[in-house]
Homo-oligomer: A and B are copies of this chain.
Amino acid sequence: MKENTLGSPVVPVAPSRGRLRPLGLDEVRITGGFWARRRHTNATATLGHCRDWMERVGWTGNFRAAVEGRVPRDRRGREFADSDVYKLLEAMAWEGGHDTDVAALAETIAPAQEADGYLNTAFGRPGQQPRYSDLEWGHELYCYGHLIQAGVAQTRARGEGELAKTARRAADHVCATFGTGGIEGVCGHPEIETALVELARATGEQRYLEQARLFVDRRGHRTLADPEFGRVYYQDDQPVREATVLRGHAVRALYLAAGAVDVAVETGDDDLLAAVVRQWETTVARRTYLTGGMGSHHRDESFGDDFVLPPDRAYSETCAGVASVMLSWRLLLATGEPRFADLAERTLYNVVATSPSDDGRAFFYANTLHRRRRGTLPPSQAESPRAESSLRAPWFAVSCCPTNVARTLAVLPAYLATADDHGVQLHQYADAEIATTLAGGHGVALRVRTDYPSGGTVTVRISRSPDHPWTLSLRVPAWTTGAIARLVDPDGARRAVTVGSAEVTRLFRPGDEIRLELPMAPRWIEADPRVDAVRGTAAVQRGPLVYCAESVDLPDGRDVDAVRVDTSTAPADGPDDTVVAPGELAAPGETPDAAWPYGPPDPAAAPAAEPTGVVLVPYHSWANRGPSTMRVWLPTIAPRT
């Protein structure tokens, strides 16, 4: 890895070394399209929704109660409720226009911090468990992690304030308590690792990095108790650098991997980085849903065995999607390899964008790929007690997902582009304005125009450029495999480009336009035959979007299990970003039950069906039109033999 040549912009991850330098919220502005709409809803609806709910369910009140000596009596929520206040603060810090709210919330929190920096409303007071008496489940260090991330966000986005000071006092306390000679433990839920590295980057204090390195190195040495799900649940079964695949609780595994990348990058530990890259590769090849979703077990929210990816029992937690984007982004910065941006794109469009409802006030916790029963709308004024794969709920007893989505959307522009000594790289496509400074202090500015992912044309107009050649790189997504992507340079020369990076190196002049043309025809997708649960089915993808059949689009009240598709003919574009898949629909009404659903093969037993075009919609948009059934993987019509 080589050194960056410039300082840190307003970014969630600011490595001091690595292949690419991230561009921040001060350098990239999303001006329209898919993500602009979602960011607008996030800023105008979701942030307030989360703040109101946390007030209503008492999670912000916990800090006041702690200060006033009313804890544990008046404390509300689970042991990790503090963390959601911090995640909301992080989102508000990244998002513009919330200075007063951030300050007010930060002032609620600060007085609850004890003199030695300890801060947690669930532990340590008379009537509560002692501090650090339950590292397995207590989430104390996990909560600090989110506090520190919020503090770093505030420092980078607005300059150091109260929140940043609180976070730093907490981090100092962690170093004093868990450093060499202190408690030789780790937290049951990783998160502190990546936060401490970022704090080191933001402050220049290397002891935070050293503490993060200690936590990464300690993990896997069985310092935590063996729980019902096994130590694999919190990745304490095997040292990070020895593991070959992500395993156990998906969010824990992904946060830990992100932290390990951060430590590896800052300490120049190429072996550790290579270990995480290897784990990522195997996880992507064997343990990831078509949507990018990770974690198939409802029981322990964990990765399953290789290729155990049941669509109808997909857990695919929203937070695991967020964490996967965090990991892929760090690996992209470290290595410059577009494959990491490919997975981030898939996950952003098909997991992160799926969780919130159109109005930004309800969320999927789990993101199933097959919904068999029409659900009922969850109560709008009560917490949803369970992370059911049914309709979106406004809040959950464990409500990690809403604030995680909020902080991701708030910082999303920072995931679009990077720079290096050679020029600028575009990784994600959105209508945007980008302005940064290249090596040597030369300013460069770009205007990106696109209606991606609805359309596949991305036009980059150079509005400012140094007077020497530099390189503009555009990611050619891996999903274009099998079709032809083209690049048109400022002279109008048009050439086919292959998966990876398409580069134009030249002396750009203001007004120059580069155009990337991505093949947007919808296409059939099948799975590796080892994904047993989807044998005999196909899915449709169009651009980066996974599609699904939703019962509200089917005639005569049919459910999605009536759909069979014919993969011998390509799916076609329909109106309004829909896709029409050739196929057939079984007759309306429920299939009569057999007394026993197993018997000799009987090819004649297929139910009567009529040929039709089946309307499919983007998966991220499902369940916004009332209760419905839905499936991504559609049974194929068996070839006539």
- Asked whether, in the complex, the Cβ of B597 is within 8 Å of the Cβ of A531, the reply is yes
- Asked whether, in the complex, the Cβ of A595 is within 8 Å of the Cβ of B639, the reply is no
Q: How far is the CA of A288 from the CA of B597 in the complex (A)?
A: 9
Q: Is A600 an interface residue (CB 8 A)?
A: yes
Q: Is A377 an interface residue (CB 8 A)?
A: no
| Residues 305-347 of A contacting B (Cβ, < 8 Å) | 305-308, 310-313, 339
> 21 interchain pairs (CB within 8 A)?
A226-B385, A228-B385, A281-B593, A284-B595, A284-B596, A286-B593, A286-B597, A297-B313, A305-B312, A307-B597, A313-B313, A523-B600, A527-B597, A527-B598, A528-B594, A528-B597, A531-B597, A535-B635, A538-B601, A638-B639, A639-B641
Total number of A residues with any Cβ neighbor in B under 8 Å:
67
Chain B residue contacts of A229, Cβ below 8 A = 386
The residue of chain B having its C-beta at the shortest distance from the C-beta of A308 within the complex is B312
Among B230, B538, B635, which residue has its beta carbon within 8 angstroms of that of A529? Answer: B635
Closest beta carbon of chain B to A118's beta carbon, Å: 30
- Asked whether, in the complex, the Cβ of B600 is within 8 Å of the Cβ of A285, the reply is no
* Sample of 13 further A-B pairs with CB below 8 A, known A229-B386, A304-B313, A310-B310: A228-B385, A230-B386, A286-B597, A297-B313, A307-B597, A310-B313, A310-B533, A481-B599, A524-B600, A525-B600, A529-B635, A533-B533, A639-B641
Task: Please indicate which of the listed interface residues A281, A312, A536, A596 has the most CB atoms of chain B within 10 Å of its own CB.
Answer: A596
Q: Is A468 an interface residue (CB 8 A)?
A: no
Q: How far is the CA of A228 from the CA of B301 in the complex (A)?
A: 15
Contact string against B for A residues 231-247, beta-carbon threshold 8 Å, 1 for contact and 0 otherwise: 00000000000000000
The oligomer's copy count stands at 2
Among B290, B386, B596, B638, which residue has its beta carbon within 8 angstroms of that of A598? Answer: B290
The 9 A-B residue pairs with the shortest CB-CB distance, nearest first, are A536-B536, A528-B597, A285-B593, A535-B536, A299-B299, A298-B299, A639-B641, A526-B601, A305-B372
Q: Is A567 an interface residue (CB 8 A)?
A: yes
With A228-B386, A230-B386, A385-B228: A372-B307 Cβ-Cβ less than 8 Å: yes
Q: Is A370 an interface residue (CB 8 A)?
A: yes
- Asked whether, in the complex, the Cβ of A285 is within 8 Å of the Cβ of B596, the reply is yes
